[in-house]
Chains A and B, each alone.
Chain A
Amino acid sequence: MRCLRDEGVEYLFGYPGGAVLHIYDALYKQEEVKHILVRHEQGAAHAADGYARSTGKPGVVLVTSGPGATNAVTGIATAYMDSIPLVVFTGQVMTNLIGDDAFQEVDAIGITRPCVKHNFMVKDVRDLAPIMRKAFHVATTGRPGPVVVDIPKDITAHKAPYVFPKDPTLRSYKPVREGDPAAIRKAADLLAQAKRPMVYAGGGVVLGNAAAELTELVRWLGAPCTNTLMGLGAFPATDPLFVGMLGMHGTYEANMAMHECDVLLAVGARFDDRVTGDLDKFCPNARIIHIDIDPASIQKNVPVEIAIIGEAGLAMRDLLAALKGKGVRLDEAALKAWWHKIDAWRERHCLEYDRANTEVIKPQFVLETLYRLTGGDAFITSDVGQHQMWAAQFYKFDKPRRWINSGGLGTMGFGLPAAIGVQLAHPDATVACVTGEASIQMCIQELSTCKQYDLPLTIVNLNNRYMGMVRQWQEFFYQSRYSHSYLEALPDFVKLAESYGHAGLRIDKPHDVEAALKEALGRRDRLVFLDFITDQTENVYPMIAAGAGHHEMHLATDRELA
């Protein structure tokens, strides 16, 4: 407990069980660390993750051995794929029982190994404080990630004098901070010659708290900037230099600009397959500069000309200084022509949808209204699927850490528990969970946690009775054979919310959308579950089919894809 306090831990998300009873007893006797009791260990990991994403501080989880640990694995893997700092304490059976298939025993170290940054097993109570210190150090430095600490029950029964270890360093772990000055000079030289520059910024900018540096650099360059799904908010979405998200469901202008740019500056982004599409057709005209804290992200999927390994903020600060030091600006005429081209792509209005429809609720309309009513300043968590893409497209994030979603692993069930962590970290903020009727049911039990801690979330359930993204792919690529993507026997979400002690509203007409959202967002005393019955046939556009290039987008106007 003192370790946690000294690390500045505010909340511990957990669920008790046999192997962690000693720890829970210690929790009972103190008041500094607040414990949040979830209803399922997956929820604990996601809630801690939401807390971490929205604050930048590590999220902390405590679960018991066996099923407690395995239930947390999905949440740990989710954090791992998005490089989120978590410290997860798993209980373990007594040291003398390990390996005996004891009750609630599982090899938590082995099971979590491929989805953690590192893990530790504590074998001696005297190692507990140093290991905890190292766990927080590893989780939060370099490229962040989850760290698991497995603690056998007998270790928590022993006593040892507590000394806060000052130095958490490990001889084998030394993350780089500052980028190589020679590489930065080369990058400045290359950028200064660009005729069609493009900045592609990802989640690393958010994680590295480098949004200000990015904004300053992009504005100085006067270049278009796109963000990945994980990077939304790293550059202000309402800035005229922002061309929207890129990738499979990115905007026409962002993807076309990627295709035609001559110098690409990639920052804190990892050239994920959902971003690049066909690698052979990716940025065919560009010389690429890549800033990343993880050397293994460099040259992994895409060959780059200049690699700068270091913290995004420091690297961009140095890069901007190098550019300014050169005393030259980018070729103004070329830049003007480049923007002329981009503006023409913008004229395609790729996110257009049927706004005139007064009969059926278009999901995009709900999100646009949500954006308008919250002034773009809410924390939005999301689950995974069509609603996630529409939220990413239609909610314009001007600030980092406002958009909380599972990008890498794509974990359905993430949104609601993540919103719990966000709301606890920001008690006065507006927090909305954008979800669908399929995703929300994967962690629906956390509605109970929301009640216990009086969290006034707004749940925006876009209910089209289908696993929408699965249905969309089946329509396009499987000749509309909707195999097992239709959800029969859905619960009555209004009654369900009410039975958990919340308010629920069903909305099925476009003209009721605004009033319902206003009511939900205005209520600070309770959670409101909004069940929007939306158009069943709506698809997410633009779309780049898997394996196609950025210039091969399909827009809503040409519905035929396959």
Chain B
Amino acid sequence: MRHIISILLENEAGALSRVAGLFSARGYNIASLTVAPTEDPSLSRMTLVTSGSEGVVDQIRKQLNKLVDVVKLVDLTDNDRIEREMLLIKVCAEGDERDEIKRLSDIFRGRIIDVTDRAYTIELTGDGSKIDAFISVLQPRRILEVVRSGVIGIARGTVTCKSDAS
């Protein structure tokens, strides 16, 4: 099953490679991984999407918690949550296609952020399935490049993944 795990880790050189190394060394899957500093500059937030049986994901959580750089870990899968991913997509847009692509982009609430006489670059945010759906409707056309940010997520309501110390 797919799990989305939110991790606060020390904002130190090497912390990311400890997490990445753990996954490759123990043969766990990573579907996506994003990382950026938080409002506390000593901490980074990592959001990781992985999949596996309950036993494997249990081990993933435990092994992550064992890393000395991991300050806090929450499996968002256990919560009602919001997930977002950003897509930047460059698609060939010529002739009649230009209007059609603009309409599709509007339907998905995307924004055209760069235009040339032959191509559009579109920005779109949403959960993974929305991004997938948008890519698939563009599929018959010539997609020049797809850039996805990877998933970030946050629990609904008052549940947080924050450092106890802060």
Binding site for B on A (CB under 8 A): 109-110, 113-114, 117-119, 121, 138, 170-173, 294-296, 298-300
Contacts and interface: CB of A to CB of B under 8 A. Distances in A.
A171 B71 contact: yes
Contact of A172 (B55, B58, B62, B69): B69
B79 interface: no
Given A110-B17, A171-B165, A172-B10, A117 B55 contact: no
Contacts of A295: 62, 65-66
B160 interface: no
Contacts of B66: 294-296
A299 B55 contact: yes
B141 interface: no
Interface in B17-39: 17-18, 21, 25
A63 B72 CA distance: 34
A296 B26 CA distance: 13
B70 interface: yes
A358 to B, nearest CB: 52
Contact of B71 (A110, A172, A300): A172
A300 B57 CA distance: 11
Given A171-B163, A296-B62, A299-B55, A114 B71 contact: no
A173 B68 contact: yes
Contacts of A171: 71, 163-165
Interface in B54-86: 55, 58-59, 62-63, 65-66, 68-72
Given A110-B17, A114-B25, A172-B10, A300 B59 contact: yes
Nearest to A298: B62
A380 B123 CA distance: 67
Given A296-B59, A299-B55, A113 B17 contact: yes
Chain A interface SS verdict (over half): mixed
Contacts of B68: 117-118, 138, 170, 172-173
B45 to A, nearest CB: 14
A109 B12 CA distance: 13
Nearest to A303: B55
A441 B44 CA distance: 48
Nearest to B58: A299
A173 B69 CA distance: 8
Contacts of B25: 114
B14 interface: yes
B96 to A, nearest CB: 53
In this complex, the member of A118, A119, A172, A173 whose beta carbon has the largest number of chain B beta carbons within 10 angstroms is A172
Contacts of B10: 172
In this complex, the member of A109, A296, A298 whose beta carbon has the largest number of chain B beta carbons within 10 angstroms is A296
29 contacts: A113-B17, A113-B18, A113-B21, A114-B21, A114-B25, A117-B68, A118-B68, A119-B14, A121-B13, A138-B68, A171-B71, A171-B163, A171-B165, A172-B9, A172-B10, A172-B68, A172-B69, A172-B70, A172-B72, A173-B68, A295-B65, A295-B66, A296-B63, A296-B65, A296-B66, A298-B62, A299-B55, A299-B58, A299-B59
B21 to A, nearest CB: 6
A121 B17 CA distance: 14
Nearest to A297: B62
In this complex, the member of B58, B65, B68 whose beta carbon has the largest number of chain A beta carbons within 10 angstroms is B68
A138 B66 CA distance: 12
A171 B71 CA distance: 7
Given A109-B14, A121-B14, A299-B58, 13 more contacts: A110-B17, A113-B21, A114-B21, A119-B14, A121-B13, A172-B9, A172-B68, A172-B70, A295-B62, A296-B59, A296-B63, A296-B65, A299-B59
A172 B13 CA distance: 16
